[in-house]
Amino acid sequence: MKLRKVTAASAVVLALAVTATACGSDNKKDSGSSGSGGGKITVGIKFDQPGIGQKTPQGYAGFDVDVATYVAGKLGYKPDQIQWKETKSAERENALSRGDVDFIAASYSITPARQQKVDFAGPYLLAHQDVLIRADDAAIKSPSDLNSKKLCSVTGSTSAQNVHDKLAPKAQLQQYPTYSACLTGLQNKAIDALTTDDSILAGYASQAAFKGKFKLGGFKMTNENYGIGVKKGSDLKAKINTALEAMVSDGSWQKAVDKNFGPAGYKNEPAPKIGNIVS
């Protein structure tokens, strides 16, 4: 009798173990392939950069949003399975290392320092530091013409300082809290030029409120290779690279460029080859 009791108890334990294992298998099966779970993928973008990544009353818009949506589609996720998460510049590496996001497409320039912390797919866009000036400004034709001009960038940015140190030592640096504030100053002639990446400038200038009022200088003062950041060692890198190649080959990449930057007359570089980092 005692032996039968032990055997019965063992059977119960075994049954419970099998049930728990089965439940665990079901949970794993339901997880998204990127590890975010629940058939969803979490993508980090900017929420405040028109033309690049912006949260609007209608949803999310911008070149990075279009690229990320296409990539997610190739990874097996429909648009309604994408969870968009704001990732500010200073938090991008931490967001990836913590697993807060599966990948980041947020005007994320590939640099040696960042490559020590995260992996990058791409590049998917070659941008350049440039200036935005008033459409009727005929005086600023080269970086040296910024000498004695009021040059604006956002507080904490190194863009204006780089121009001052390397190209226009007599430029009068002005720091505003946001790019929108710089644009208002440019429109009101409180400043003469705004500087940051040309893709970002084109995005702002393409807004309906500013259409036809500004133009890009076309100076190409630096090379900014935008990549899609993933956690170090993630197998997503290769899959995203394959998706980016498909986006270029089927014409979707150029359509996204024209849609988001076209109104500003942005003369984009050809789509970069995967792994080709222009220094």
Which parts of the chain fold into alpha helices (H)? 2-30, 63-74, 92-98, 112-115, 159-166, 179-187, 198-205, 236-249, 252-261
Residue 227 confidence (pLDDT) above 90: yes
Number of domains in the chain: 2
**pLDDT computed for residue 118 by the predictor:** 98
pLDDT above 70 coverage of the chain, percent: 86
Instruction: Mark whether 170 and 197 lie in a shared domain.
Output: yes
Instruction: Mark whether 74 and 99 lie in a shared domain.
Output: yes
The pLDDT-based confidence of 155 (bands split at 50, 70, 90) is: confident
Chain segment 58-116, per-residue pLDDT in tens: 999 999 999 999 999 999 999 999 999 999 998 999 999 999 999 999 999 999 999 99
Instruction: Mark whether 54 and 190 lie in a shared domain.
Output: no
**pLDDT computed for residue 264 by the predictor:** 81
User: Is 140 inside any structural domain?
Assistant: yes
Instruction: Mark whether 50 and 122 lie in a shared domain.
Output: yes
Residue 17 confidence (pLDDT) above 70: no
Mean residue pLDDT of the chain comes to: 87
**pLDDT computed for residue 4 by the predictor:** 42
CB atoms within 10 A of CB 163: 24
CB atoms within 10 A of CB 90: 8
Hey, what are 126's tokens? 């070659």
Give one DSSP letter per residue of 151-181, joined into a string.
Answer: EEEETT-SHHHHHHHHT-TT-EEEEESSHHH
The pLDDT-based confidence of 216 (bands split at 50, 70, 90) is: very high
User: Is 12 inside any structural domain?
Assistant: no
Q: Give this prediction's pTM.
A: 0.82
The pLDDT-based confidence of 263 (bands split at 50, 70, 90) is: confident
Burial label, 128 (beta-carbon count in 10 A; 0-12, 13-18, 19+): middle
**pLDDT computed for residue 35 by the predictor:** 44
User: Is 202 inside any structural domain?
Assistant: yes
User: Is 272 inside any structural domain?
Assistant: no
Residue 2 confidence (pLDDT) above 50: no
Residue 31 confidence (pLDDT) above 90: no
Q: Look up the CATH number of the domain holding residue 204.
A: 3.40.190.10
User: Is 21 inside any structural domain?
Assistant: no
| Contact residues for 276 (Cβ-Cβ < 8 A; gap 6+) | 123
Instruction: Mark whether 145 and 208 lie in a shared domain.
Output: yes
- Please give the residue range of the domain that contains residue 84: 41-127+225-264
**pLDDT computed for residue 38 by the predictor:** 55
